Structures are given as C-alpha cells and as structure tokens.
Structure 1
Amino acid sequence: MSDILRALLCVSEKAANIARACRQQEALFQLLIEEKKEGEKNKKFAVDFKTLADVLVQEVIKQHMETRFPGLGKNISGEESNEFTNDLGEKITLRLCSREEETGELLSKVLNGNKLASEALAKVVHQDVSFTDPTLDSIEINISQDILGIWVDPIDSTYQYIKGSADVKPNCGIFPCGLQCVTILIGVYDLQTGVPLIGVINQPFVSQDLNTLRWKGQSFWGLSYMGTNIHSLQLSNPKRNSTETPSQRTENTNSEVECSHCFSAVISTSEKENIKAALSCVCGDRVFRAAGAGYKSLCVVQGLVDIYIFSEDTTFKWDTCAAHAILRSMGGGMVDLKECLGRNPEMGLDLPQLVYHVENRDATGVDRWCNKGGLIAYRSRKQLETFLSLLIENLVPAEINT
C-alpha cells in the first residue's frame, strides 16, 4: 500500500507540473477553456468550466496508476470527461499515448493545430517525476488492490485557476481566493465499505519566485488502514503534536473555562445565512471565507482552522475523499452535516462519516456523487462533539433539519 501512496505522490507532482505549465505558458492557457455540458455542470455556479489541464491531469493519473498497478485503472473515477470539441467541430477523446510525439499529435487536434503548444504540453506530460520518502519505505502494509477505488479531482477550484490571481494576501494564513486555493486531490477508498484509506493533496501554487515568476508547490498525504495511521505533517513537525489544533491548545491550557469563541472555522462564500449567524455565535470573528473545497479541507489538515463546514450539496466525492483520508490518519474525519444536526448525542450514535462507494438514489449526472447532506471536516472527535452542541444551540430549531 505504501507503493501505491508513493506512486500517487509522484503522479500528483507530475499533475502539478502540468497545471503550472498551462498557467505559465500563455499560449497553452488561452487556447482551450470549454464550457461544461448540462449534467456535468456544478449547479453552484452559473458557468462552470473544464480546462485542458483538468483533463490532462486526470488522464495522466489514470494511465500512471494503471501502468504501475495493472487493473487499478478501471477503479479510478474523476470529475472530468475526456472529450473535447475543437473549432472545426471535431469530437476528440483525449488519451495519453505511449510516445511523446503521438501525444503531441493528438493534443494538436484538440488545440486546433497549434503544434508549438501541443509539443510543449506533451513534453510536460511525458516528463518523469520522482518522489522519495524514507518513512514510506519503512511501512509494510499488504492489501489487495482489487478492493481499492480512487477518486480524482484533477484541478479543484477551477475558477481560481482560470482567474489566476497571484497577489492575494492571506488572513491568518488562509487565502480567501487566488492560485493558492487550487489543489489536486487524489483519494483512495475501500470499494466494499466506502471508507477512505489514502489521501494526497497537492497544492501547485504556494509561492512564486518574483524574478522568474515560477511557482513552487507542496504535497500533503495521509494513510489510515488497519490501525496504521501516518501522515506527512507529523513528519515535518516532530516537536509538536501536529493533530493538536489552536482550539485544543486553548482548551488544554485552561480546561476549566468554557468559551464559545474558542473555535475557528472556514466556510464557502455561498454559505447559508443561518449557518453563518450560528457560526458567529460559536466562533466570533474567527470565521474565514475561502475558495475551493479541497483548499478549505486543507486548512483543517494544516491546523489553520478547527472546522470546515458546508451546508449545501455542491461538493462531491472527488472533492472530499483525499482530505477525509488524511484527517482519518490524524484522528479526525469528515461527517454528514445534516445527519449530525438530526442525531441525538445522548443515544451515543456513531458519527455519520462520509463514504465513497454508493451513489445517491434518484439522482442524475454529477449529483449521483454529491455530498447530499453537506459536511463538517475536523481533526478531533471530542472537539467536533463540543462544536456541534454549540452550533445546534445557536441554530433556530426549525432550521436544524433543513
């Protein structure tokens, strides 16, 4: 299983290179932005786009994993269709060929004959990327790949990727928008139970060299399986408990004091007013807005906030599986918000964790895989229970089951 994680980290970096190349080479980026068809469109947005980078990233991940682990490719699903229509009306199915020249020829058809751009992109696609981590070499976990499914969001927060803002300032370390909110998400789950097992989040645009204007990124990963829980943050921060959030540190130093403003949360700019009002009571001024479901989840993973909460049904399995796996490896998780608000904590019911193997009934298109009840991402179960009790106290009763 560590071999699969290592392969995912390698291919996520290759995917990040593609994303950076498409943004940094203007000829590539301007050539193809195609509006999604009805049924593929996220209803949260009036206009939703897929880019060539989206599709390429998804196809690179599929081919890389199928090559390394034959048979696994059939269990990889993602957000994007790999079909394009060029200016001549030709319908083209994008795939990666065995040779760079062949991929370039296929890309040239998608890019309306732009040979220079297609060759440049084919070179990035076929470029080898290596990843080494001694910690992964020491992990020995045996699991049949036949039970593994993979969700891919090739470029989460596509709008921010297209917009390309590079000069946004963070608020307490959290970017409200901009290229920093763009993530590549790869989540591995158990096909039988739907439980997330491995997560990789690659953030391609973290810091920019002001001289070359080139971007550097970073990756986060986690593995949770059969009692083994390990993640990248505990390795990079050995001197402190990386699963301890700012609120937990507050609670630990003054456990006798009850404070309704000891939580911090990140939310979508489109969050419902009743949720925002309740959060103001629970978190005070420590409610942050940010773009991208993957990035907001990453804020919880990094410990920048305690909670990511979203009450609508416009996130999907490919948005959450990667972060959910990482959070599980930290002792946290991701739960269905609506079910949490409707449960009776005195009955001691298990928290309704999101699962990734079952479609929503009576749904069509992408809605088959939406997180229908909304979500809460967290790093501490005890903290989540306290947060939920405070949230429910501050929600109007009639609003709890809406």
Structure 2
Amino acid sequence: MNLPRPAELQAFEQLQLDKKAIGVWVDPIDGTAEYITGNRDPEFKPGENISQNGLPNVTVLVGVYEKATGQPLIGVINQPFFSYRRWKVKLGTYLCESFEILTAPGAGYKLLCVIDRLCSAYVLSKDNTYRWDTCAPHAILKALGGGVVQFKGLLASDLSPGKRDQSLREQQITYHKSEPKANGSNAWCNAQGVIAYYDQEVLLALAEHLSRK
C-alpha cells in the first residue's frame, strides 16, 4: 500500500544542509538504566507520575545543531508503544498556586511530555542531564515557540520587561562547546540544570516563583 507522504516530510527531504556546518547528538536509549532493568523512576510515587501504564521511555533521540552557534536545528524522537499508554495527571505537591509536581523517568521522556503538553515544564536544578539528552527535544520545542534554558543561569538573569528577551536568548542551552574544567562525559553535561518549556509565560511564572525560594 502506498500511503501519501505528509507535506512536512516532503519539505524536509528538500532541505539542503552543509554537512560540515552541523553536528549531531545521538542518545540510543533514553533513561538507559531504567530501560535495561525495568525499574521505575526512584522518585516514583503512586498517583503523582504522568504515566500509569506502559513503557515510560523514548528510545532514540537524534539532535542536529549548528556548529558555529550551537543552536539546535532538527530533533527526532522515537517513542515506542505510545498507542498502548494511558495518560493520567493526578494531584501532586503544589509548587505554587498554578503548578503541581509530577514524576516521570528519563530526561528525554520528560522533555517529550513537555512537547506533547502533558506537563507545562520540566525543571531540573541538578547537573545530571547531557547535551545528547536535550538537543533533539530542544529543537522541537524551539520550533513550537519554547526552549530549554539553563536553570541557574535563568534565575540569575534580569527578567524585567526590557531585558527579558535578551536574557532568554542568552540562557538557551547550546550544543557546540563543552563545560570548562570538566573531563569525559561530564564535559557535556548541562551543568547549570535545565528548564524546558513550550510557553514563555509559563517559564516566566516559574522563574518568578523559584527565585523567591
């Protein structure tokens, strides 16, 4: 059976890129430890996680970025078995009046939840995600009007109306430079933590609340 190809795919096939000007980050299995062992997120609490059934992982994440600027350009995320999953959002711990905390395993999977608008944002203050985790989802969120910013950098930024846009641009994670004074895989960790979002107003509301903590 020959099925019609979506217009987006046809446009993508006509896209011309200078291969020398781009880099690629690949994560073959998101949430590797949980995927291999079949374990749930260690912070899992019944009633507070996004997915109640099925395999809460994506598998391959492929992110393409521009070498000169580090800006994410293309993101491909493969999520298996999605038609068998039942989604629920249960009442969790309130972060503030407008937010509640939910849990899910795997950085790529959490980011996919933001892309699919199953949650408003992914907030991580720790340095335990890497460029290969965030590049592909970042490209997709950027195309949707969102992004992935540095957690600590954003909270230290001037988010007043006149400086807001510049600060958000400066705090977007880039993918072409390693972390200073770091070795091995740690050279490519997101050292300042991350906040992924699809709506700038949600990001600003989160930043305002977190800056008061």
TM-score over 0.5 (shorter chain)? yes
- Give the ranges of 4+ consecutive aligned residues of structure 1 lying more than 4 Å apart after TM superposition: 170-173
How far apart, CA to CA, are the structure 2 residues paired with 1:306 and 1:331? 13
**Contact preservation (8 Å) 2:157, 2:167:** no
8 Å Cα contact 1:161/1:178 also seen in 2: no
Scaled by the length of structure 2, the TM-score of the pair is: 0.81
Higher relative helix content: 1
Kindly tell me: are residues 390 and 282 of structure 1, through their superposed partners in 2, closer, same or farther at Cα, counting changes over 3 Å? farther
Q: Post-superposition shift, 1:162?
A: 1.5
Q: CA deviation at 1:165?
A: 6.6
| In structure 2, C-alpha distance between the alignment counterparts of 1:205 and 1:159, rounded to whole Å | 19
- Structure 1 residue 325 corresponds to structure 2 residue 144: no
Q: Alignment partner of 1:331: what SS?
A: coil
In percent, how many aligned pairs have the same letter?
Answer: 41
Count of residue pairs the alignment pairs up: 196
Q: Give the equivalent residue in structure 2 for 1:280.
A: 95
Q: Which amino acid letter does the alignment assign opposite residue 70 of structure 2?
A: G
Tell me the CA shift for residue 163 of structure 1: 2.6
* 1:354 paired residue number: 173
Structure 2 residue 60 is the aligned partner of structure 1 residue 184: yes
- Residues in 1 aligned to 2:49 and 2:191: alpha-carbon distance in whole angstroms: 30
Q: Who wins on radius of gyration, i.e. which is larger?
A: 1
Inter-partner Cα distance in structure 2 for 1:322 and 1:291: 17
Question: Could you tell me whether the CA contact under 8 Å between 2:48 and 2:101 is conserved in 1?
Answer: no
Question: Unmatched 5+ residue regions in structure 1?
Answer: 1-130, 209-215, 217-263, 265-275, 396-402
* 1:179 Cα offset (Å): 2.4
**Which whole-Å CA distance do the structure 1 matches of 2:124 and 2:154 have between them?**
12
Deviation string 1:277-298 (CA, Å, 9 cap, x unpaired) is 8x623545x2101110000000
The structure with higher relative contact order (CA 8 Å, sep 6+) is: 2
The aligned residue for residue 73 of structure 2 is 197
- For the aligned residues, what is the CA RMSD? 3.1
Distance in structure 1 (CA, Å) of the matches to 2:147 and 2:6: 25
Instruction: Specify the alignment match of 2:113 in structure 1.
Output: 299
TM-score for both structures, normalised by structure 1: 0.44
Whole-Å separation in 1 of the counterparts to 2:52 and 2:101: 11
Distance 2:52 2:172 in 1: 27
**Structure 2 unaligned residues grouped into runs of 5+:** none
Looking at structure 2, the residues matched to 138 and 172 of structure 1 have their Cα atoms a distance apart, in angstroms, of 40
Q: Kindly state the Cα deviation for residue 370 of structure 1 after the two structures are TM-superposed.
A: 0.2
Distance 2:19 2:48 in 1: 41
**Structure 2 counterparts to residues 132-211 of structure 1, below 5 A:** 132-138=5-11, 140-164=14-38, 174-175=50-51, 179-207=55-83
Q: Is 1:345 aligned to residue 164 of structure 2?
A: no
